[in-house]
Amino acid sequence: MGRHCGENSGKAFAAPSFERFIIPMKTPLSLVTLCALLMGVPALRADEAADQAAVREAEKSCAAALVKGDYQALGDFFSEDWQMVDPSGQTATREQIFKALNGGELKFVSYELGELNVRVIGDTAVVIGHGHPRGQFHGEPFEENEVFTDTFVRVGGKWRCVLSHTTDVENK
């Protein structure tokens, strides 16, 4: 009958072995470490919420800077190697966009932002957002309803946009 308590074989009772469930102290992940990790989970989520809020604020500041023509703020937002892919699949660099803005070829009169879905994974953030920019390009007015994806990387504690992609959507 093995190790059952009701056994009357004259042998001493042998309790079941739980050794396989015990984490030895020499193992790097001790019980104290495990508890500390589990207690830190809410703090990680709080940090993620703060990062999401910071990226949302960066998006709002960028939209305002495009309308104001604030090149200092735009320079802080877009990384030096930033690129954009437009709805036709053409790419433009930060230098090309800044040149068009500076030369008056591209002018924003408004840029309304809609929903911003922000995902943060470590020092990378991805935004899927809705925007409604209006302005002029080469003297011709434009008004767009777009869905965009912006990819951010945290550099020196600041979120910088490194890549953007826009897609036009029909007005509903």
pLDDT of residue 45: 67
Give the model's confidence band at 50: pLDDT under 50 very low, under 70 low, under 90 confident, else very high: very high
* Cα 18–chain centre separation: 44
Question: In terms of Cα–Cα distance, which of 48, 69, 82 is closest to 160?
Answer: 82
Determine contact, residues 76/65, Cβ cutoff 8 Å. Answer: no
pLDDT of residue 172: 59
Give the model's confidence band at 12: pLDDT under 50 very low, under 70 low, under 90 confident, else very high: very low
Q: In the CATH hierarchy, which top-level class contains the domain 24-168?
A: alpha beta
pLDDT at 25 over 50: no
pLDDT in tens, 129-142: 999 999 999 999 99
Measure Cα distances from 1 to 10, 11, 13, 105, 158 in Å. Answer: 13, 12, 12, 90, 67
pLDDT of residue 166: 97
Sequence ranges of the domains in the chain: 24-168
pLDDT at 52 over 70: yes
